[in-house]
C-alpha cells in the first residue's frame, strides 16, 4: 500500500469515527432532554422502571463517549 493510499484510507476512517461519535453525542443529548432525573422518587413502579432503563442507557453512552459525554450529563443533571 502506498503512503498516499494509506493517508486517504486513514482520513476516511477518521471521518467515519467522527460521524459515529457525533451521532452518539446527539443521541445522548436527546436522551438527556427527555430524561426524568427524579424517576427514583416515583410511587409508580412503571415510571421508576422506565427511568432506570433510560438512566442505564445514558450511562452506557457516557462510557462510550468519554469526557465529552460526562460534560453533557453534568450540564443536564438536575440533582
**Domain ranges, ordered by start, for the chain:** 25-79
Going 39 to 40 to 46 to 52, the CA torsion angle's sign is positive
Per-residue pLDDT of 12-68, as tens digits, reads: 778 777 888 899 999 999 999 999 999 999 999 999 999 999 999 999 999 999 999
Measured between alpha carbons, how far is 74 from 79 in angstroms, rounded to an integer? 10
Per-residue pLDDT of 2-25, as tens digits, reads: 887 767 676 777 877 788 889 999
Predicted TM-score of the model (pTM) = 0.78
Amino acid at each position: 500500500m502506498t503512503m498516499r493510499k494509506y493517508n486517504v484510507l486513514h482520513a476516511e476512517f477518521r471521518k467515519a469515527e467522527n460521524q459515529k461519535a457525533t451521532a452518539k453525542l446527539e443521541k445522548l443529548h436527546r436522551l438527556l432532554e427527555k430524561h426524568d432525573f427524579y424517576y427514583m422518587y416515583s410511587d409508580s413502579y412503571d415510571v421508576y422502571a422506565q427511568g432506570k432503563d433510560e438512566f442505564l442507557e445514558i450511562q452506557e453512552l457516557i462510557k462510550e463517549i468519554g469526557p465529552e459525554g460526562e460534560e453533557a450529563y453534568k450540564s443536564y443533571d438536575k440533582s
